[in-house]
Amino acid sequence: MKQKSLKAVALSVSALAVAGGVGAWVLSRRKTIPNGVEAVSPFDIDRYLGKWYEIARFDYRFERGIDHATAKYSRNEDGSIKVVNKGRKKSGKKSKVVGKALPAGPENTGMLKVSFFGPFYAGYNVIAIDEQYQYALVAGQSRDYLWILSREKTIPDTVRGAYLQKARELGFEVEKLVWPEQE
């Protein structure tokens, strides 16, 4: 009787491991950009590396209440991209999370997938960028995620207006953007 129970447990554990592996594989293969939205191409990831200030974002739970938000991108030894997001809550408490980004499309396209939580990746798509790589409009894998980034703490009104118009035309609800304090 004990031998049958051990075999049943072993089979259950094996089935869970396979199911977990399949689930992780499926999640890693899902679409990383919203329908009808295209990432920048050509795109030079090495020019994108460095520090960016978050000018605007949709207020999703991981960043709720965060001001002075920045993202810094650099190369890891394995060629992947290290992502360090920092910010500060109104209480003064600092926030920092480190993740990793990998290409999610052709190498010269602004499509990445980013993970801050183990094997789970989410889409990160540069959908507009100026020629000097000073301002970027970034979409997640759905229209629930949108960011406007700048190399400086501010952004010119002309760039802001152009990015808001582009996002609106692509079906993003730009009225939901929050504008975190940077000064």
Q: Which residues contact 6 (CB under 8 A, 6 or more apart)?
A: none
Residue 61 belongs to some domain of the structure: yes
Clarify whether residues 113 and 100 are in a common domain. Answer: yes
* Token couple for 51: 């520090």
Clarify whether residues 46 and 135 are in a common domain. Answer: yes
Chain centroid to CA 38: how far? 15
Question: What is the pLDDT, as a whole number, of residue 64?
Answer: 86
Question: What is the pLDDT, as a whole number, of residue 3?
Answer: 56
Q: CA 9, 13, 14, 15 torsion: positive or negative?
A: positive
Q: What is the pTM of this model?
A: 0.83
Clarify whether residues 70 and 99 are in a common domain. Answer: yes
Q: Which residues contact 98 (CB under 8 A, 6 or more apart)?
A: 82, 83, 84, 85, 116
In the three-class reduction of DSSP (H, G, I as helix; E, B as strand; rest coil), residue 81 is classed as strand
Q: How many domains does the chain have?
A: 2
Residue 131 belongs to some domain of the structure: yes
Interior/surface letters 145-181, b for 16+ CB within 10 angstroms, e for the rest: bbbbbbeeeebeeebbeebbeebeebebebeebeebe
Question: What is the pLDDT, as a whole number, of residue 36?
Answer: 96
Clarify whether residues 72 and 83 are in a common domain. Answer: yes
Bond prior to 42 in cis (omega within 30° of 0): yes
Clarify whether residues 79 and 134 are in a common domain. Answer: yes
Whole-angstrom distance, CA of residue 52 vs CA of residue 177? 18
Q: CA 107, 84, 115, 146 torsion: positive or negative?
A: negative
Clarify whether residues 109 and 39 are in a common domain. Answer: yes
Clarify whether residues 80 and 114 are in a common domain. Answer: yes
Question: What is the pLDDT, as a whole number, of residue 138?
Answer: 98
CB distance 101 to 90 below 8 Å: no
Question: What is the pLDDT, as a whole number, of residue 90?
Answer: 84
Tell me which residues of the chain have a pLDDT lower than 50. Answer: 6, 8-29
Clarify whether residues 51 and 133 are in a common domain. Answer: yes
Clarify whether residues 141 and 115 are in a common domain. Answer: yes
Q: Give me the domain span that covers residue 18.
A: 1-30
Clarify whether residues 57 and 71 are in a common domain. Answer: yes
Clarify whether residues 14 and 38 are in a common domain. Answer: no
